[in-house]
């Protein structure tokens, strides 16, 4: 038998292959390319109009221009992992039951924890790969428009993106572990992320003037906030022309890491007990 690490590597490589050959992958990849083209068009065509966004009357300094452009790119980018995760991770466990592949995979001498982890890493990698075009387009556009730009914040933003992909993938794995049908898994993930989280956010910020930092979508907002500390999703939230302070970055990072750990533990507990009738 293979060692757990060898098994993890085997599971990861074959699942990744199955993911990136799938129609879902090509669909999300195509959508990301369309989004990249639109963003490049927006950046080049409307850059001269950035001045009009600010009512100060004077010209916007160059350093703020690059921040605005990068903020807009990252703002769009921070929603893409949610769609990618829904495509790749939502059906991750439910599909094993619905498509009956569990009969094959469950009867192999393989710890379910290794199977879950290998599949999770493969789904997260597929999400990241599918977004590669957007990341490349963002860097290329930024360097073309602002040759003297500092790349450090861009890499911090990308690092946060990777953690967010891991967090949203773990969260959708957890949701998927409760269901035996993909459709329930898709719908539940969308409802939780786009309705429950938003509603909780609004209620807490409007009624209690409380910033729900522990919600995953708020933590993910750090991806664009690296450039400008603006949270349009938080009612009456902060607005700063500087990037988010280190404390906020670390807080968001901690929240996302907690989502990864808790979601994976819950998913594993449910997955270990999963039976295929």
Interface positions with other proteins (CB under 8 A): 1-2, 6-7, 10-11, 14-15, 17-19, 21-22, 99-104, 106-111, 275-277
The residue (of 97 and 220) whose beta carbon lies closer to other proteins is 97
The residue (of 173 and 259) whose beta carbon lies closer to other proteins is 173
H or E stretch covering 245: none
Nearest approach in angstroms of CB 270 to other proteins is: 14
Nearest Cα to Cα of residue 75 among 184, 185, 229? 229
The residue (of 20 and 213) whose beta carbon lies closer to other proteins is 20
Nearest approach in angstroms of CB 17 to other proteins is: 6
Nearest approach in angstroms of CB 174 to other proteins is: 22
Indicate if the alpha-carbon torsion angle 81, 87, 91, 96 is positive or negative: negative
Nearest approach in angstroms of CB 277 to other proteins is: 6
Nearest approach in angstroms of CB 20 to other proteins is: 8
Any idea of the CA torsion for 162, 248, 168, 177, to the nearest 10 degrees? 130
The residue (of 49 and 277) whose beta carbon lies closer to other proteins is 277
The residue (of 106 and 184) whose beta carbon lies closer to other proteins is 106
Nearest approach in angstroms of CB 78 to other proteins is: 29
The residue (of 102 and 187) whose beta carbon lies closer to other proteins is 102
Helix segments in the chain, DSSP class H: 4-20, 23-46, 50-53, 62-77, 80-88, 94-98, 102-105, 112-130, 132-145, 152-177, 182-190, 197-208, 216-220, 222-225, 246-272
**CA distance linking residue 185 with residue 195, whole number of Å:** 15
Q: Residues, the chain, total?
A: 277
Widest pairwise Cα distance in the chain? 71
């Amino acid at each position: 038998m293979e060692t757990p690490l060898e098994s993890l590597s085997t599971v990861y490589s074959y699942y990744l292959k199955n993911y990136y050959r799938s129609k879902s992958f090509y669909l999300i990849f195509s959508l990301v390319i369309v989004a990249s083209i639109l963003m490049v068009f927006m950046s080049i065509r409307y850059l001269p109009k950035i001045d009009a966004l600010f009512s100060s009357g004077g010209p916007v300094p160059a350093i703020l221009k690059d921040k605005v452009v990068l903020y807009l790119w990252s703002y769009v980018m921070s929603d893409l992992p949610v769609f990618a995760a829904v495509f790749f991770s939502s059906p991750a466990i439910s599909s094993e039951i619905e498509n009956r592949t569990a009969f094959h995979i469950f009867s192999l001498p393989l710890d379910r924890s290794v199977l879950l982890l290998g599949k999770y890493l493969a789904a997260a990698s597929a999400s990241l790969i599918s977004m590669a075009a957007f990341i490349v387009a963002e860097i290329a556009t930024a360097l073309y428009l602002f040759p003297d730009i500092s790349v450090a914040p861009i890499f911090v933003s990308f690092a946060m993106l990777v953690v967010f992909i891991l967090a949203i993938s773990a969260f959708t794995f957890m949701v998927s572990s409760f269901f035996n049908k993909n459709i329930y898994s898709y719908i539940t993930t969308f409802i939780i992320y786009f309705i429950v989280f938003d509603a909780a956010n609004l209620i807490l910020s409007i009624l209690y003037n409380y910033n729900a930092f522990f919600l995953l979508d708020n933590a993910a907002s750090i991806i664009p906030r690296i450039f400008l500390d603006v949270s349009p999703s938080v009612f009456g939230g902060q607005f700063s022309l500087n990037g988010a302070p280190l404390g906020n970055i670390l807080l968001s990072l901690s929240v996302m890491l907690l989502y990864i750990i808790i979601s994976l533990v819950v998913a594993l507990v449910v997955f270990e007990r999963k039976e295929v009738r």
